[in-house]
Amino acid sequence: MALKQYTLESMESSRILTIEWDMMNKSRFFSLNLLNSFFLRATLYPFTVIKTRLQIQKQSAIYRGTYDAFRKILYYEGIHGLYKGFWINTIQLVSGVGYITTYEKVRHILTEYANIEDKRVKGLIGGGCGSLVGQTIITPFDVISQHMMMIGQRNGSVIKLTESSNILNVDLNHKHRGSVAASVVKELYKQDGLKGFYRGYFASVYTYVPGSALWWMFYPLYSEWLASLLPMSTSHLLIHCVAGPMSGISVCIITNPMDIIRARIQVQRMDSFLGTSSLLWKEEGLGIFTKGLSARLVQSSIFSFLVVLGYETLKRWSVHDQYKDQIRW
């Protein structure tokens, strides 16, 4: 019995907790990942709209919180209100491929050529590099979609935001979403030229690169910590699915002020990072640490859970045959 127990423990200890880049069939992984990413984006997009509107409004001018925003948008604008800018935002699927490829390749390079084995360090560097590539691709589409999110807000009557918030004055009398997107693009170019599409790029980099780096650092840290606490036979997929939301919550709390500054610069077309920070502090005070945070936490928790569930499942489906016996579900 002792020998049998020892053999079982040896087998469990040899299980692979993290599936590395060279263990997978890349074409299978990317094709499945695109489908998974679209599903996640469609599911969670309403939280992005709510978060953006809460961040842009001055104090509680229109919405009192996440639930109030959800209720008012649904009542006054219908389900379409929760999906404004969705199809433009969906182009982020392209940046997602660049993001995950960069993340995995950087981790592989750090292992092969720099002899770095610490998963937290590889996650920190890989996540930061992946986000930098992703933001470079997606910032113009992010700017356009955020402006579309702000159009036609109602609180009993249409809210005229352009007078006080410096938001683009886009004609609301459109029957088709495509024409709204075209009007936003035209107005952005008219007001700021090509640079308008990269407004807030550095603010995005300051927000998302550290956020991504920290998420991928926390993820293996929480995964290993949970694995050490739980029985050896615990599902690795379950461990990852708990570690993901824990990482998302940690990052949201740390980066929330930066995300508000990014949104204000991109949507209200403010020119100065320091000026925006100063104005926010005057308007909100300590509220910059909590403004829109509840929507962000809900979005990030669900997103992290579903991303990890999909990401880890797809990696297991894509792993080469010789590693399958070493992978625990």
38-71, pLDDT tens digit by residue? 888 888 899 889 988 888 887 777 888 888 999 9
- φ/ψ of residue 16, rounded to 5: -90, 120
Note the pLDDT tens digit of each residue in 129-142.
999 988 888 888 88
Taking the C-alpha atoms of residue 52 and residue 55, their distance in angstroms, rounded to an integer, is 5
pLDDT tens-digit series, residues 202-240: 888 888 899 999 998 999 899 999 988 998 888 888 998
Give the mean pLDDT of the chain.
Answer: 80
Fold type of domain 22-321: Mitochondrial carrier fold (1.50.40)
Burial (CB < 10 A; 0-12, 13-18, 19+), residue 236, is buried
Task: Out of 126-140, 155-169, 283-297, pick the least confident.
Answer: 155-169
> H or E stretch including 302?
helix 293-318
Least confident span in 76-80, 153-157, 209-213: 153-157
How far apart, in Å, do the first and last CA atoms of the chain sit?
A: 26
Q: Average the pLDDT over 256-279 and give the result.
A: 82
Separation CA 318–CA 95 (nearest Å): 21
Number of C-beta neighbours around residue 285 at 10 A: 10
Neighbours of 130 (CB within 10 A): 27
Alpha-helical regions (H) of 151-200: 162-165, 177-192
Rounded to an integer, the average pLDDT of 109-122 is 88
C-beta of residue 239 within 8 angstroms of C-beta of residue 223: yes
Task: Please report how many Cα atoms fall inside a 13 Å half-sphere around the Cα of residue 271, on the Cβ side.
Answer: 1
What long-range pairs does 227-236 form, CB within 8 A, spacing at least 24?
227/17, 232/9, 232/12, 232/13, 233/12, 235/328, 235/329, 236/15, 236/17, 236/312, 236/327, 236/328, 236/329
Cβ 150 vs Cβ 52: under 8 Å: yes
Give Cα 87 distance to the centre of its chain: 16
Please report, for the chain, the start and end positions of each structural domain, with discontinuous segments joined by +. Answer: 22-321
> How many CB atoms are located within 10 Å of the residue 145 CB?
25
Assess contact for 138 and 92: CB atoms under 8 A.
Answer: yes
Strand partners, 260: none
Q: What is the pTM of this model?
A: 0.66
How far is residue 25's CA from residue 316's CA, in Å, rounded to a whole number?
A: 10
